[in-house]
Structure 1
Amino acid sequence: MVVNRMILNETSYFGKGAIQEVANEAKKRGFKKALVVTDKDLLKFEVATRVTAILDEAGLSYEIFDGIVPNPSIEDVQAGVKACQAAEADYIVAIGGGSPIDTAKAIGIIVTNPDFSDVISLEGTAATENPALPILAVPTTSGTAAEVTINYVITDKAKQRKFVCVDPHDIPVVAFVDSDMMMGMPKGLCASTGMDALTHAIEGFITKGAWEMTDMLHIKAIGIISHALRDSVAGNQEAREKMALGQYIAGMGFSNVGLGLVHGMAHPLSAWYDTPHGVACATLLPLIMDFNKDHTGEKYREIAIAMGIDGAADMPLSEVRDAAVQAVKQLGIDVGIPQNLTEIGMKEADIQQIAEDAYRDVCSPGNPRDATVEEIVALYKSML
């Protein structure tokens, strides 16, 4: 008998103005002092300060840790742990995209599980005993869904690799999904994080662990994202509101069933070339969809219908699979996603080692079609 598990936030708020609830949640939970985890740009452009102003108005104490960079490293996490301990914080307010929220998860876990202070021992499904320091998560991008997942990704610079941590203890207790916080995204970031969200939804829909409840979430997310992303990139707030919801719904699903080879192959690209995660995923998604298509039953038909492809319900299966792949590829082209790996700096001489890293990535076994190292090498080479 298969037992399926669903883990979601304790509480989430959605819509314009949702961040106004941050202080109320902190107060009613009896929190005393926060470590605000964010990055310097979000402070500079007065995005994170929208939240700290609410804390100020409520008389809530906090200290800021803004040492977050894209693709956060073991050292970044360790610096954050020291900052959290020095502040004597009893909760974390994480403001940003995947990098700040992922870092906050690792900080929160280590503060309450100090045996994992090396960070690297958190890789995979670590046997932590205690819930993380409570995290209130405020996403500023429409893509990673880090605010609702039990996953986070850290870079091991010494070994030039990313590693994924999967831990039910790390999920934020409250998420505040406020489209006002996402209006400052530049077009490129909006596009790449939005395509990352679509990747989550599609990979979660076809992964080996998928089941009825997550299928329901993922197919809804595919429909929302595919119809809203172009307008979201153009700066339309209603579309960004839809993207904020779509990416969260995708996160509800994939966090509980895993992903696949797109993420498995994207992680080492970020580690080797410091490529933004969403860009790596978006560039690879059509390629891996094509690789997987004969191992997905009728699911590409459902994807095609959700994306609004004319005649998808009645097309022959082979045609509708190709149509779904092409629709995803065209969406990426329309929002400015690179169409080859040379554009993001990949070198043919690196491919063998990168392919081996991808093969070992924790996401890759969830792919509906098993891939050998040699097949992964060929996939990378086909994108140069």
Structure 2
Amino acid sequence: MSELLNQRLRRRLAALQDEGLARELPRIGRRDGVRYELDGKWVTGFCSNDYLGFANHPRLRPSNFASLEENSAGATASRLVAGDLPAHRAAERSLAALVGSDDAVLFPSGFQLNVGVLPALIEPDDAVFSDALNHASLIDGLRLARSRPTILPHRSPPGESDGPTWWVTESIFSMDGDTAEPAQLREFSERGGMLYLDEAHSLGLFPGGAGFARHHAIRPTVLMGGLGKAFGLAGAFAAGSHEVCTWIRTRARSFVFSTGNAPALAEQARLAAELLAGPDGEERRARMWSNARLLAAALERPPPVSPIFPVLIGANQLAVTVSRALLERGWHVQAIRPPTVPAGSARLRLTVTADHEEAQVHGLVSALRTLMQQFGLSLADSLPPIHPH
């Protein structure tokens, strides 16, 4: 029977190849900031989510946490069994303080968080509204919940609704790099709506290490904070009231039935929250936003609202071809294709960080402009459709 499965998968993999949807892992070796070896060749990357360069921060290196008080490589069990350690509790206090919430719950990943927390909190009779371009983890979490969501046009708010009403959305959207409208989020929350805000790509990018919500005086019912972007680490946390977080610890299946985060990672998260809120974080944010403005100007685009710059190509295989041509010239920018983005909107997703240099930004755009012209494409027409508020 296993050979039947292998035959089936070979056919399906061949079909993906024909459709320009085959995927493979970039074989990255040694890394030095935004420069790293890929298949043995040194390249400059413009596709990571390490917006502030914290993945290479000297104080966050794993070797610094080898002598933790816990003296354990792992949590050993679910935190509800025997895996709740001082490092977890300290990290949760720091993360809650960073986003201005009463409490926070640490998870091994953002995907694991969203597919556990949404089903735990949403009741069958709740009205649920979800942005059309929400991340796959939010979509899958809502599929596991007991209320069928209404899909909103991108960046549109829910209308008036009787009874408990949820609005599930990202603050900075991971593939388009645009944002939700702050006034709409604030108004929804203030009229009693339950706002579930995914801040994976916005946490840490605003003054004081704040995310989009705190920067714009928005109080979500639940805030999902990612640790794999500006924090430069891995994992995520849900933040909210003491009641919300207690319920999550009690009923979110992906928390209840998972081993706790490694204590070293929890301590890294605590320290990263401290660094994000301090002078080092401010200096790195200033560099990141300066580089984002530089890249926006080089691409002849409006002032940026995020460090994410999609370059729309359209056809899957053409996006792969342009990506490979850039790689041959020393620039690593991944082609993003369905199902990550809607059909017909394959793109290059450029991201800029605090660690990029001005010459690197100009070098990338020069190579990209030449290749776009070579393939009959235009940078002027490469921005995804702009969605009104």
TM-score category of the 2 structures, normalised to the smaller one: 0.3 to 0.5
Q: Answer 1 or 2: which has greater helix percent.
A: 1
Q: Answer 1 or 2: which has greater strand percent.
A: 2
Name the larger-Rg structure. 2
The TM-score with structure 1 as length reference comes to: 0.35
The TM-score with structure 2 as length reference comes to: 0.35
